[in-house]
A and B are shown apart, each in its own frame.
Chain A
Amino acid sequence: MVRFEDVSLRYGNGPEILKSVNLSLEPGSFHFIVGPSGAGKSSLMKLMYLAHHPSKGRVTLFGRDTREMSRQDMANIRRRIGIVFQDFRLLDHLSALENVALPLTITGQPLEKVRKNVTELLTWVGLADFLDAKPPTLSGGQQQRVAIARAVIARPNLLIADEPTGNVDNAIAERLLFLFEELNKRGTTIVVATHSDSLIRRFNRPIFRLAHGEVHLDYPSVDRARKPKESQTP
């Protein structure tokens, strides 16, 4: 699904943010990414969702080398990736319903179906009364739920979430992670960057730990015996 081979990243002439990273995510896996601020979590995820090209090394997504993809191929690959941005990136001039519908409408899906699916999903995340609300009128937690709904509405093969539960209470956070888990059970590969130890413990999934631009694979202490297929070679 995702393979990094000796991948390094630097912005311009700056220092290396990621140094010779090797990792592999198998289809249907669920990983957390942890690390202090500035460790390169966002950069790692940007490489996964094709917002950047590596300065060195090879990134393979869905079995294809990103360096050999045409622009159209890359757009098609991006359609298979759902992203929850840390800053949500909701469009203020659109309603919650329209924001969530974006991934479907830009691919030209039938509007009746789009509307029905989006309404159902927003209802499920507890925003049934806010379908027509514009993001500036929503609380931080509500905006985050809209952002998550937008990331999952197109049933992505790969879901990448940057601090998806940072602004919601524990109950909502559990519910959202439960949604991720449901998607994961249906085959979606999930990558979640988080600072929440409780979530990591609760969901008991392998962890990529970032420090000084290097990535190390770790397993929750509660279940070290369960080592899945995912592998990492530093």
Chain B
Amino acid sequence: MISSFLSRSHSVPLDNDASSRLLPWLIALMVFLASLAMVVAFSMTKLADRWDSSLSRGLTIQVPSGSTEAERNFTREQMDKLAQRLEGIEGVSAVAILGDAELERMLAPWLGTEILIQDLPIPFLISVELDSLEGRLVDEIRKAVSAIIPSAAIDDHQRWMRSLLNLAETIKLVAFLTVFLVTGAAVVMVVLVTRMSLAIHFKLVELFHQMGAYDSFIALRFQRHALRLSLLGGLMGLFLTGVTVAVMSYFMGQANTALLPQLTLTSWEWAVLALFPISAGLIAMITARATVLRSLEEMP
């Protein structure tokens, strides 16, 4: 009886405001957008790491195949010699000459299966895997290649990787920017909702003020309310993100392609996402407090 007397006699009836009913849903939407952007950032990080680890420790040697069968046979002999030489270099973990069958398989998506690889001016390829992409090792390989097949070209994937990694970084940046903008939008929204509540309850606030309530006492009523509603909205938004990630993860798993990012989040990443509702609550609380204190300053 006494405790309800305490809570009610201090209270501002904010729960009945239309703006209060709207706030959890708006915060839910904001947290959903921000956490989804964060999921994209996490996924792009993992995808870039995967590309990096699978391609950064390898290089490809392209050898012009020649126009006649005799030239092609000679080139094959030179390639065998080069492969042997490369295998002898310390730091080279594997050397593989890609045969016609493998080239046909790689080109099939673009040229179809009915091609005669010999009729096309397609270079032979040698795939080299390294323990690490050290400059010294690459230089040694480059020397060996130019000594045995001077016309061969070495592609260490760096240019292609750079583009991909730049793309991944850009997407991550956009994702973080989205989180930042959504946070800004949430702050603006809480300011508007708080001002609306202050306008609705102006007489009550004025009465508390007139009775000698400290500004912090009045602000506490609004900030607690904003914290509660925003936490509730944030949890709804996080739940929605969880469902969305689960559904997208299922469909991406079905697609089974190495090009798509993985949407399986680690427990650490879930922990970061769990901070979103808490952050939303705290941001809303601080914003509501600042808004009320600022408005109260207009009263003498």
Query: Which of the segments A16-24, A88-96, A121-129 contacts the partner chain?
Result: A88-96
Q: Indicate if the CB atoms of A51 and B217 lie closer than 8 Å.
A: no
A103 to B9, CA, bound (A): 10
Nearest CB of chain B from residue A55's CB, rounded to whole Å = 12
Closest to B207 in A: A89
Q: Indicate if the CB atoms of B212 and A106 lie closer than 8 Å.
A: yes
Interface string of A91-128 (1 = CB under 8 A from B): 10110011001110111000110010000000000000
**Which of A49, A50, A98, A107 is in CB contact (< 8 Å) with B8?**
A98
**Which of B2, B204, B217, B300 is in CB contact (< 8 Å) with A91?**
B204
B13 within 8 A of A: yes
Within 8 A of A (CB), among B194-222: 203-204, 207-215, 217
Nearest CB of chain A from residue B180's CB, rounded to whole Å = 34
**B interface SS class:** helix
Q: Indicate if the CB atoms of B5 and A78 lie closer than 8 Å.
A: no
A51 to B209, CA, bound (A): 9
A79 within 8 A of B: yes
Q: Indicate if the CB atoms of B211 and A98 lie closer than 8 Å.
A: no
**Which of A53, A80, A83 is in CB contact (< 8 Å) with B210?**
A83
Q: Indicate if the CB atoms of A75 and B300 lie closer than 8 Å.
A: no
A98 partner residues in chain B, CB cutoff 8 A: 5, 8-9
B215 partner residues in chain A, CB cutoff 8 A: 71, 75
A184 to B297, CA, bound (A): 33
**Are A76 and B212 CB-contacts (below 8 A) given A52-B300, A89-B203, A111-B2?**
yes
Interface string of B281-300 (1 = CB under 8 A from A): 00000000000000001001
Q: Indicate if the CB atoms of A51 and B210 lie closer than 8 Å.
A: yes
Q: List 13 A-B contacts (CB under 8 A).
A: A49-B210, A50-B300, A71-B297, A75-B213, A75-B214, A75-B215, A79-B212, A81-B212, A91-B204, A103-B211, A105-B6, A111-B5, A111-B6
Q: Indicate if the CB atoms of A78 and B300 lie closer than 8 Å.
A: no
Q: Indicate if the CB atoms of B212 and A75 lie closer than 8 Å.
A: yes
Q: Indicate if the CB atoms of A51 and B300 lie closer than 8 Å.
A: yes
Q: Indicate if the CB atoms of A102 and B9 lie closer than 8 Å.
A: yes
**Which of A97, A102, A111 is in CB contact (< 8 Å) with B211?**
A102
In the A-B complex, the 8 residue pairs with the smallest Cβ-Cβ separation, listed nearest first, are A79-B212, A78-B212, A98-B9, A106-B213, A93-B13, A105-B9, A75-B212, A103-B211
Interface size classification for chain B: 20 to 34
B10 partner residues in chain A, CB cutoff 8 A: 105-106
A72 within 8 A of B: yes
Within 8 A of A (CB), among B66-84: none
Having A77-B212, A78-B210, A89-B207, one finds 13 other A-B pairs with CB under 8 Å, namely: A51-B300, A52-B300, A72-B214, A75-B212, A91-B204, A94-B8, A101-B9, A105-B6, A105-B9, A105-B10, A106-B213, A106-B217, A107-B212
Interface string of A63-77 (1 = CB under 8 A from B): 000000001101111
Nearest CB of chain A from residue B140's CB, rounded to whole Å = 76
Closest to A74 in B: B300
Q: Indicate if the CB atoms of B300 and A115 lie closer than 8 Å.
A: no
A93 to B215, CA, bound (A): 22
A210 to B220, CA, bound (A): 40
Nearest CB of chain B from residue A80's CB, rounded to whole Å = 8
A94 to B210, CA, bound (A): 18
A149 to B210, CA, bound (A): 16
A13 to B26, CA, bound (A): 41
Closest to A66 in B: B300
A107 to B297, CA, bound (A): 20
A49 partner residues in chain B, CB cutoff 8 A: 210
